[in-house]
Structure 1
Amino acid sequence: MEPPVRPASTGTIIHGLSVGEVLGVSTLAQARLIAGRSGLGRIVQRLNVMEVPDVLAWVKPHELLLTTGYPLRNTPQSLGRLVADLDERGLSALAIKLGRYVDELPEEMVEQADRLGFPLIQLPDDVGFDDILNQVLTDILNRQAAVLARGEEAHRALVQVVLAGGGLDEVTDGVAGLLDVAVAAVDGAGRVLATAGPPGDVTVLRESIASDGPAVPPQTVPPQTVPPQTVPPQTVPPHTVPPVDAQAGGRDFVSVPVVAGGHHHGRIVAYSPSGAIRDTDVGILERAATVAALVVIRQEAVNAVESKYRADFLRDVLTGRAGTAERVVARARAFGWDLERPVTVLVAELDPDSDERTAQDRLVTSWTAATRRHDARGAVAGFSHEVVAVLDARVDAARVAKDAASAFSDTPPATFSTGTSRPSPGVATLPEAYAQALKAARVGRQLHGPGAVAHFDQLGVYRLLSLVNDTEELHAFVRETLGPLATDDDAENADLRRTLQALLETNLNVAETARRLHFHYNTLRYRIGKLERLLGNFTDDPHLRLNLTLALHVLRMRGI
């Protein structure tokens, strides 16, 4: 298994030559590495000459410091601390000519350089500082010019992707071609959206993304390429620079985040089996991530417009304003929907306590995904407070609702209630089916609370009660029919109402009711007598029993 995808460095990319590459220039062909081998990957951006005692005030990070040792001739004891001071200030290496003012470096200084990975270099006696300065600075400038030229090439190629209206496929193709690596665009959920590069490397990259572990900072120290104590001559002619890809510090995997509108939309991941991804390549990957962010924003805008058109059209269909059945079927087909077959309408409505500002988008997303999994030709769209899905009548609507709820419940506290219509044989009956599903969702919530799932055919008498718009009249009916049992103000009355409910549900079967309520037979007989004194002789009056049953049903309907 390949190592996990590693994130790109978050610091500034330093363009220059590594110390190992500096030692390869012709003027330093006879230089000798005294200590600090592990620091050969340090980057040199500039050079400085140390000929004054207080040089520490003038040095800068990523410098190669040249000296004859003249400032140190009278204070050899300061050499032991010099390496730590230079390393603390971020210098890349110290190059010294021995034999003129300092005969040899103290053992303490060499040990400290090895411990810190700070290269100490002995310069040849016959090479002047001006020659070293001229050649190394020329190579650094050439390297930086090559990096800028390559970056400009990448910029032009990626900008062309945007101008041509390309997508993530074109972005990954462009980066793979520029860097000669495998590239993948991954969304925030870890799904691979686009890939490019050699097929074998793409397969490895996909496996690595699938098993992505904790983010680990990338390797910044290159492998040791210089043998102990001596440095081989550089084969590149003087005043030239190796290709940018020859820069040390390559990595196998690099991951760069795609950020748009302050939100993370995923990442661009690159893989090279030879570890050829350099710090300079990370800059190109970051440019690609910026282009990918623009692609994501553009696609989101397109999706938002298309979503509005889909929602407007489906709303017209469900309210009977979309035109003839032929026109509706034809337009639905353009959206990939099949409305010619028998279908079922489902309505998912946010419960009142949900935060609609954030929940509605998540509701649409979860229902869209669930609909696509169960019926690829099903219609789904989000309205202002609800999501409507029109599915093949053979699809298990309860299972679709469960899948959507499972995805939606990952981010509480919002909930939604779902209603399902009767099967609709054609476009003409879709408005009626929509009304049924909406009624089922709302009555189901009244009966069972938030998160209810109800089918229109299972509403029974509650469907009729929900048609009564005058809720005050329903409240009055409950008070007149149940009297003191209409409220929970008295615990004994509430207990009696539960006894009445059980009696009516068992069709006045005293033995069954006593068993269900765990009462003694005589205790239940006593309660029946008390109920009849409060409500009337309901055991002998079927009309009174009907009224009592309806009143209890009304009490079960929450929100009335």
Structure 2
Amino acid sequence: MSYTPAADPGPPALRLASTGTLTYGLSVGEVLGVSTLDGARLIAGQAGLDRIVQRLNVMEVPDILAWVKPHELLLTTGYPLRGTPQPLDALVADLDERGLAALAIKLGRYLEAPPAEMVEQADRLGFPLILLPDDVGFDDILNQVLTDILNRQAAVLARTEEVHRALVQIVLCGGGLQEVVDEVALLLEVAVVALDGDQRVLAAAGCAEQVEAMRAFDAARQAEHGRGRPDGRGERAGDAGHLVVPVVAGGFDHGRIIAHDPGGVLGQADLGILERAATVAALVVTKQQAVAAVESKYRADFLRDVLAGRAGDDDRIVGHCAGFGWDLDRPVLVVVAELDGRARGGDPAGGTRGPDERAAQERLAAAWTTAARRHDPGAAVVSFAHEVVAVLGVPGDDAALPAGPVQAMIKEATAIFAEHHAVRRTFSTGISRTVAAPRALPEAYEQAVKAVRVGRQLHGDGARAHFDQLGVYRLLSLVSDPAELHAFVRETLGDLAGDGEPELVDLRRTLQVLLETNLNVAETARRLHFHYNTLRYRIGKLERMLGPFTEDAHLRLNLTLALHVLRMRGI
């Protein structure tokens, strides 16, 4: 087998080692093109011509395996091969396993020809086996190949640094992610797209069909392999016409930059440029997030002042909110969404929120913002410490309950939030009455807060409650002193107020069902699966503890209210 090197090996390039890391070097095919190897013949392993040569070594002893390193071109005469402690085909397998680039042999005095099994093994493994000309010295090969490697490294570093400076200059001059993507597309002469973690296009250079094709490719790739390499490095993917590099900053994966050439000619040099672009893109994203955080805090602080009644008159509030894109000059209602499963009135365990809790809160705010943007562009949506507050327009003057668009928005926010959470989390929602002017928003906010918390107590996690649908619980929730409610429960129910004794808890359940059925003994017995006489006995015991509630309507009312307060425990 002979090999004729290409006349032009192409521009300096970064190479990808078998470990996935970028390396500097020449391919075996390019090494065969240097002048000192004119006349060298490739006799096996043509599939490995793209292996990378970073260093050279000379085999002087039979037991060479302890001294070789990955990406080496190993030079030898036939002399050491005669005394190897293993067959030559096994030697080729061991060298290949250690990541060597190729083996170059000078035949003649000590070895007439490599054994056939050695050549066959090299072909099977794609391990280049090269026969050197008799008249070339090892020192000439070492000097020229090492010089070419160093020149290649210097050229690659210079080009990469130039690209990096150009990209950083874009950012320093105020450019954003779109300008970075445009510059990369110009350098690589291919289509480039930047996607966020949810595969939304952040910036793109290329026609719509190319952009959509890259999104589809990334979706399929994620479904099969996950989001990307954990070390943040890029990779050639798919048909090798795609380069994919994650955008990582502060330990967070902010998305990916993808380049695509239908001709499949993207190489490792292009991957190096794309990795530099991803680093700069991470800087842009971090800057944008910092600006967005400041703007978000400013909006949240102003809405907090509005909901606290200290933002000024209606005209000032409407004018100021219009600058944020919020329309409060219309009938609106307040929606409060709270994550379920955290300590009331504070962070889990009473401490600072952990990263998972913060991430969940950010996802909740993002879900509500996305849903509001689709259904009500004039809505105000902000994230406070432990809740997301939305002020939504209500279509029609008689829309007392949030039917139609408002319910659709809640449903969509729920779906978006659930879609992007690996660990299932839920949130409860409280909805206020409709108000006609900004000055009424503080009262509406209090109503929504009451609704979300009472609704969760009554219906569990994921509850949706409107303030006007709380019934008697609405009145009870308006009592400002919870101690007064608990005292009322103890005075009315006596020993039945506690949960310490199962027998008393069971009696309280009997009382509750009796009151729910309006003292219908037969229906109560059926629901509780008691014999009629057993229930009559229990009623007598309850009246001895609580008084003649079967005859006293006022006592029945007090008992009913006390049981309702127990259901609201924790508020």
For Structure 1 versus Structure 2, the TM-score category normalised by the shorter chain is 0.7 to 0.9
Residue 214 in structure 1 maps to residue 224 in structure 2: yes
1:230 corresponds to: none
| CA deviation string 1:186-227 (max 9, x = no partner) | 2233433222246554343222112115349x9xxxxxxxxx
Largest Rg, 1 or 2: 1
1:104 corresponds to: 113
Distance 1:334 1:443 in 2: 35
2:367 to 366, 369, 375: 369
1:184 to 184, 193, 203: 193
Distance 1:465 1:168 in 2: 53
Distance 1:520 1:423 in 2: 50
Conservation of the 8 A alpha-carbon contact between 2:199 and 2:215: no
User: Structure 2 counterpart of 1:393, which letter?
Assistant: V
User: Structure 2 counterpart of 1:345, which letter?
Assistant: V
Residue 268 in structure 1 maps to residue 278 in structure 2: no
User: Structure 2 counterpart of 1:464, which letter?
Assistant: L
1:122 to 105, 121, 131: 131
Distance 1:463 1:259 in 2: 48
Conservation of the 8 A alpha-carbon contact between 1:253 and 1:269: yes
2:491 corresponds to: 480
2:42 to 13, 33, 49: 33
2:27 corresponds to: 18
Distance 2:456 2:529 in 1: 30
Distance 1:91 1:476 in 2: 82
Residue 338 in structure 1 maps to residue 327 in structure 2: yes
1:291 corresponds to: 280
Conservation of the 8 A alpha-carbon contact between 2:335 and 2:391: yes
| CA deviation string 1:368-398 (max 9, x = no partner) | 4234324332111122232211112245445
2:232 corresponds to: none
Give me the identity figure in percent.
68
Residue 144 in structure 1 maps to residue 145 in structure 2: no
Conservation of the 8 A alpha-carbon contact between 2:243 and 2:258: yes
What TM-score results when the alignment is normalised by the length of structure 2? 0.79
Paired residue total? 521
Distance 1:45 1:95 in 2: 15
Residue 378 in structure 1 maps to residue 388 in structure 2: no
Q: Which moved more, 1:21-30 or 1:405-414?
A: 405-414
Q: Secondary structure at the match of 1:14?
A: strand
Distance 2:463 2:139 in 1: 83
Q: Structure 1 residues 25 and 197 mapped into 2: Cα distance closer, same or farther (>3 Å)?
A: farther
Conservation of the 8 A alpha-carbon contact between 2:456 and 2:463: yes
Distance 2:75 2:508 in 1: 98
2:305 to 316, 330, 335: 316
2:454 corresponds to: 443
Distance 2:394 2:209 in 1: 44
Conservation of the 8 A alpha-carbon contact between 1:363 and 1:408: no
Conservation of the 8 A alpha-carbon contact between 1:348 and 1:416: yes
Conservation of the 8 A alpha-carbon contact between 1:72 and 1:79: no
| CA deviation string 1:107-156 (max 9, x = no partner) | 34323433443323334456666765665455444433432332122112
User: Structure 1 counterpart of 2:364, which letter?
Assistant: S
Q: Structure 1 residues 167 and 129 mapped into 2: Cα distance closer, same or farther (>3 Å)?
A: same
What TM-score results when the alignment is normalised by the length of structure 1? 0.80
User: Structure 2 counterpart of 1:436, which letter?
Assistant: Q
Conservation of the 8 A alpha-carbon contact between 1:256 and 1:267: yes
Conservation of the 8 A alpha-carbon contact between 2:82 and 2:111: no
Higher relative contact order (CA 8 A, sep 6+): 1
Conservation of the 8 A alpha-carbon contact between 1:79 and 1:106: no
Distance 2:524 2:60 in 1: 106
Residue 551 in structure 1 maps to residue 551 in structure 2: no
User: Structure 1 counterpart of 2:367, which letter?
Assistant: A
Q: Which moved more, 1:147-156 or 1:198-207?
A: 198-207
2:163 corresponds to: 154
Distance 2:65 2:514 in 1: 97
1:466 corresponds to: 477
In the TM superposition, what is the alpha-carbon distance from 1:352 to its structure 2 partner? Answer: 1.9
User: Structure 2 counterpart of 1:150, which letter?
Assistant: R
Unaligned runs of 5+ in 1: 1-6, 219-249
Conservation of the 8 A alpha-carbon contact between 1:346 and 1:419: yes
Distance 1:89 1:514 in 2: 81
Distance 1:63 1:493 in 2: 82
Q: Which moved more, 1:98-107 or 1:167-176?
A: 98-107
2:552 to 541, 546, 549: 541
User: Structure 2 counterpart of 1:207, which letter?
Assistant: A
Distance 1:280 1:107 in 2: 37
Q: Structure 1 residues 68 and 79 mapped into 2: Cα distance closer, same or farther (>3 Å)?
A: farther
| CA deviation string 1:470-500 (max 9, x = no partner) | 4444333333333444445555554444343
Distance 1:376 1:138 in 2: 63
